[in-house]
C-alpha cells in the first residue's frame, strides 16, 4: 500500500515545504489536482458532492499542475506524483505529452498521469473545447501520447487528431502510467481496457468494494487481469488502518490523505500542516507498516 498526500488547495509559499515534510515522514507520493480557473457564474454541477456544490471557490489556491510537480520533484528524491485528475480533453494531447515527458525525465520517472474527462462545462467553453464528446476525444488522446512517447518519427490520423510525421525529443526513458479517473461505467471500462490503473475522487469503503468488483470483471473481459494495474482510492471516511488493510487485500495499491485544508482548516500555518503530516504518519503509515 502506498500513501499519498493530496496537495490540493495549498498556498504557493507552503507547497514545497509540505512536499519535503511529506517525504520525510513516510508518504510515498503527492496527489496533484487540476483546474484552470473558477468561473464567475458556475452552473455546472459538481459530481462529487451530494448537493452539487464544489468544496472550493474563486479564492481557493490552485497552482498549475505540471509546474507544481516539477518544483516538488526538485526538492524531493523519493516522492512520486500523480495527477488526480488532469482534465485531458481541455488540452491538445501533444502539449500534454511534452509536459508529462519533461516532468517524468526531470523527476527520475516519478510521474503517473491520472486523467479524467472533466465536469465543469465553463472551462471547456472559455478555452474553446467541445464539452460533448470529450470522452471519445480522451480515448484518442491516450493513443496519441503513447505514440509520441515511444520516440522516433511518428504520425497519427484519427477522428479527432491528425498530424504528419514528427518526433518529440527527448522521449521518456520509461513508460508513463496513465490512470483513469471517474466512477461511471464508461470510466471504469476505459480504465480496465486501455488504462494502467484507476484513481478515485472520493468514495466510501463500500463504494470502493463495488468499484473493485466491476474493475475486476471488466479487466477479465478484456483479457488484462494479469497486467499491472494501480488503484488509488480517496476515501470520504476518516483514515482507518483496518479498512486500508482490507482494501489492500482486495487490490487497492494506494490511499489518499485528505487535503490539509480539510484537516487543519483554511489559512493554517506551515507548522500546523507539518503537524498534520506527522500525525498521519504516526497514526496510520507507521501502524500499517
pLDDT one-digit tens code per residue, 7-44: 999 999 999 999 999 999 999 999 999 999 999 999 99
What lies within 8 Å, CB to CB, of 66 at 6+ separation is 99, 100, 102, 103
Residue 289's pLDDT is 84
Helices (H), the chain: 12-25, 65-74, 93-107, 121-127, 134-149, 185-194, 205-221, 241-249, 260-263, 270-280, 286-288
Residue 251's pLDDT is 96
Average pLDDT estimate for 89-118 = 98
Domain that holds residue 194: 181-258
- What confidence category does residue 244 fall into, taking pLDDT thresholds of 50, 70 and 90? very high
Residue 219's pLDDT is 98
Owner of C-alpha cell 479564492: 59
What is the bridge-based pairing of β-strands 162-166 and 154-157?
antiparallel
Average pLDDT over the chain, rounded to an integer:
97
pLDDT one-digit tens code per residue, 59-92: 999 999 999 999 999 999 999 999 999 999 999 9
Q: What is the CATH number of the domain that holds 213?
A: 3.40.50
Question: Would you say residue 26 lies in a domain?
Answer: no
Three-class secondary structure assignment of 163-222: EEEECCCCCCCCCCCEEEECCCHHHHHHHHHHCCEEECCCECHHHHHHHHHHHHHHHHHC
Q: Is the pTM of this model over 0.75?
A: yes
Question: Is residue 161 a contact partner of residue 146, using CB atoms and an 8 Å limit?
Answer: no
Average pLDDT estimate for 102-114 = 98
Question: Would you say residue 77 lies in a domain?
Answer: no
pLDDT one-digit tens code per residue, 111-135: 999 999 999 999 999 999 999 999 9
Question: Would you say residue 245 lies in a domain?
Answer: yes
Instruction: Check pLDDT > 90 for residue 259.
Output: yes
Rounding to the nearest 10 degrees, give the CA dihedral for residues 98, 101, 105, 110. Answer: 140
Question: Would you say residue 247 lies in a domain?
Answer: yes
Alpha-carbon distance of 183 to 202, in angstroms, equals: 10
Instruction: Check pLDDT > 90 for residue 49.
Output: no
pLDDT one-digit tens code per residue, 194-236: 999 999 999 999 999 999 999 999 999 999 999 999 999 999 9
How many structural domains does the chain have? Answer: 1
- What confidence category does residue 275 fall into, taking pLDDT thresholds of 50, 70 and 90? very high
Side-chain-side CA neighbours of residue 106 (13 Å)? 17
Residue 262's pLDDT is 94
Question: Would you say residue 220 lies in a domain?
Answer: yes
Question: Would you say residue 25 lies in a domain?
Answer: no
Alpha-carbon distance of 84 to 232, in angstroms, equals: 10
Alpha-carbon distance of 273 to 254, in angstroms, equals: 21
Say whether the peptide bond before residue 85 is cis (omega within 30 degrees of 0): yes
Question: Would you say residue 228 lies in a domain?
Answer: yes
Question: Would you say residue 116 lies in a domain?
Answer: no
Amino acid at each position: 500500500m502506498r500513501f499519498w498526500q493530496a496537495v490540493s488547495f495549498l498556498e504557493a509559499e507552503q507547497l514545497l515545504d509540505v512536499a519535503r515534510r511529506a517525504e520525510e515522514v513516510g508518504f510515498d507520493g503527492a496527489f496533484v489536482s487540476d483546474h484552470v480557473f473558477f468561473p464567475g457564474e458556475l452552473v455546472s454541477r459538481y459530481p462529487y458532492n451530494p448537493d452539487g456544490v464544489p468544496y472550493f471557490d474563486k479564492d481557493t489556491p490552485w497552482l498549475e499542475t505540471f509546474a507544481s510537480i516539477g518544483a516538488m520533484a526538485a526538492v524531493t528524491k523519493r516522492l512520486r506524483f500523480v495527477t488526480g485528475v488532469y482534465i485531458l480533453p481541455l488540452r491538445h494531447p501533444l502539449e500534454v505529452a511534452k509536459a508529462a515527458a519533461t516532468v517524468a525525465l526531470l523527476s527520475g520517472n516519478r510521474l503517473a498521469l491520472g486523467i479524467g474527462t472533466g465536469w465543469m462545462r465553463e472551462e471547456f467553453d472559455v478555452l474553446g473545447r467541445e464539452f460533448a464528446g470529450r470522452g471519445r476525444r480522451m480515448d484518442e488522446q491516450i493513443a496519441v501520447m503513447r505514440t509520441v512517447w515511444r520516440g522516433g518519427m511518428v504520425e497519427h490520423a484519427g477522428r479527432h487528431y491528425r498530424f504528419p510525421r514528427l518526433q518529440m525529443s527527448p522521449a521518456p526513458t520509461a513508460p508513463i502510467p496513465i490512470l483513469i479517473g471517474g466512477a461511471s461505467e464508461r470510466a471504469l471500462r476505459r480504465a480496465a481496457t486501455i488504462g494502467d490503473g484507476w484513481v478515485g475522487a472520493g468514495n466510501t469503503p463500500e463504494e470502493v468494494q463495488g468499484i473493485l468488483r466491476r474493475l475486476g470483471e471488466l479487466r477479465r473481459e478484456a483479457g488484462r487481469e494479469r497486467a499491472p494495474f494501480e488503484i488509488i482510492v480517496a476515501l470520504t471516511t476518516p483514515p482507518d488502518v483496518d479498512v486500508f488493510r482490507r482494501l489492500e487485500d482486495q487490490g487497492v495499491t494506494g490511499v489518499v490523505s485528505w487535503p490539509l485544508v480539510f484537516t487543519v482548516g483554511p489559512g493554517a500555518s506551515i507548522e500546523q500542516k507539518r503537524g498534520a503530516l506527522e500525525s498521519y504518519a504516526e497514526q496510520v503509515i507507521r501502524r500499517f507498516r
